[in-house]
Amino acid sequence: MYSQIAGTGAHLPEKIVTNGDLERMMDTTDAWIRDRTGIERRHIAADHETTVDLAEPAARRAIEAAGVRPEDIDCIVFATSTPDYVFPNCGVLLQQRLGCRPGGPAFSVEAACSGFLYALAVADKFVRTSDSSCALVVGAETFSRITDWSDRSTAILFADGAGAVVLRPAERPGILSTHLHADGSYKDMLYCPGGVSRDTPAFASEERRKAITMTGNEVFKVAVTSLGKVVDEALAASRLDRSAIDWLVPHQANIRIIQATARKLDLPMERVIVTVQDHGNTSAASVPLALDAGVRDGRIKRGDLLLLEAFGGGVTWGAALVRY
Ligand code: UT7
């Protein structure tokens, strides 16, 4: 038994913030942001919009594209680092919103920007072991809520959005393999303080900031190395040559990181789905947003071999080889 991506969906908040808007807010330039990151604009949630608000339309689109109904969904795995509540988790909230049949598992996964790959790997196992016949996998974030808008080194990068896929059992291999990794020794390189358990006077000085804190150039180096290794690992697991890949669907953190991974795979940029210019870094939403963009504009076709990859705080990283 295999699992297969039966449908994809995405949703972005209406408000767009351009590099020009940021030039007026902080000491930065459109030229620097484009040159160092590839980002031109990003979507930012309205004050009343939450992560689950963004996830709901993305999930509905994925469900419709898969040709199923909300009541067919029997498992929800929701990747986010910016949940609506401490609990219930976003998966449970989404189950109720969509009108899914109650009873199946619904839970969230937190692995920062690698979250969607972690969620996909978990849902794949549910479907392959017959625990689920229709799993919804979501990556959704409101990173603007944990962004320090006075910090030009991070405020230009992060943004909001949601993407989703529906996984169904299949006779032919769909998700060929998933590869997840973490290395906590890099925990201080990219993190967001403000955790519930540390919200006490004892941690007051370090937790006060409650915003993304990153040593960007260090993250850059570890990301390029880790992603280079994990794409090789994914190909080796299926004994496939890099020439077999039809599309690289990477995490959209920085065009230079994406180009480095494409070079490593000897893949021309025409075979890479790039949305970073329009979306910025939407963390766990970035891979499913890019996947949906490639599917809906007709570039990604049924039967294509896709390599999904991501790297995020923790640090965490991963890849998935997928026959779409
Ligand atoms: O998704 C999770 C994983 N996250 C990532 O993968 C992010 C990885 N890191 C990056 O994408 C890049 O490191 C950044 C885009 C964050 C930064 O680019 P960089 O080329 O590594 O720049 P840098 O941090 O080494 O800074 C270079 C210069 C510094 O000035 P000095 O010290 O050379 O005078 C910064 O102060 O650029 C300056 N700088 C800026 N200048 C204009 C930093 N941010 C800005 C800015 N506008 N927004």
Taking each helix axis from N to C end, the angle separating 286-296 and 115-128, rounded to the nearest 10 degrees, works out to 70
- Among 8-17, 131-140, 202-211, 264-273, the least confident range: 202-211
> Nearest CA to 75 among 9, 130, 151?
130
At which residue do the structure tokens 């303080």 appear? 193
- Ligand 1 centroid from CA 46, angstroms: 27
When mean pLDDT is compared across 6-10, 32-36, 100-104, 165-169, the lowest value belongs to 100-104
Q: Are 309 and 248 in contact (CB under 8 A)?
A: yes
Tell me which residue of 273, 232, 269, 229 sits closest to 249, measured CA to CA. 273
Cα–Cα distance, 166 to 126 (Å, whole number)? 12
For the question of residue 281 being annotated catalytic, the response is yes
Are 191 and 146 a contacting pair, CB within 8 Å?
no
Residue 229 has pLDDT above 90, yes or no: yes
For the cut 90, the answer to whether the pLDDT of residue 243 exceeds it is yes
Enumerate residues lining ligand 1, CB below 6 A.
28, 32, 36-37, 113, 152-153, 156, 216-217, 219-220, 223, 253-254, 257, 281, 311-312
Distance from the first to the final alpha carbon of the chain: 16
pLDDT in tens, 160-214: 999 999 999 999 999 999 999 999 999 999 999 988 888 888 887 766 678 999 9
pLDDT at 174: 97
From 39, 42, 192, 220, mutation site for ligand 1 pocket: most ligand atoms within 8 A of C-beta: 220
Instruction: Tell me the sheet residues that pair with 250.
Output: 309
pLDDT of 204: 79
Position 208 scores a pLDDT of 65
Q: What is the DSSP string of 238-270?
A: TT--GGG-SEEEE--S-HHHHHHHHHHTT--GG
Q: What percent of the chain has pLDDT over 70?
A: 99
Q: What is the pLDDT of residue 203?
A: 84
Residue 131 has pLDDT above 90, yes or no: no
- For atom 26 of ligand 1, which residue has the closest CA? 217
Angle at 96 between CA 92 and CA 100, to 5 degrees: 100
Please identify, by atom number, the ligand 1 atom nearest to the C-alpha of residue 112: 2
- Does the annotation mark 251 as catalytic? yes
Tens-place pLDDT, residues 132-141: 999 999 999 9
- Mean pLDDT score, 101-130: 96
What is the best residue among 217, 218, 255 to mutate for testing ligand 1's pocket, by most ligand atoms within 8 Å of CB? 217
Would residue 179 show up in a list of annotated catalytic residues for this protein?
Answer: no
- Whether the Cβ atoms of residue 86 and residue 79 lie closer than 8 Å to each other: no
CA distances from 22 to 32, 160, 310 (A): 12, 16, 26
The residue nearest atom 35 of ligand 1, judged by CA position, is 153
Residue 215 pLDDT > 80: yes
**What is the reported pLDDT for 59?**
98
Tell me which of 49-58, 157-166, 191-200, 280-289 is least confident: 191-200
**Does the pLDDT of residue 318 top 80, yes or no?**
yes
Active-site residue (options: 75, 90, 100, 113): 113
In this prediction, residues 266-294 reach a mean pLDDT of: 98
Taking CA atoms only, the protein residue closest to ligand 1 atom 2 is 312
Residue 216 Cα to ligand 1 midpoint, Å, equals 6
Model confidence at 247: pLDDT above 90: yes
Name the average pLDDT for the chain: 96
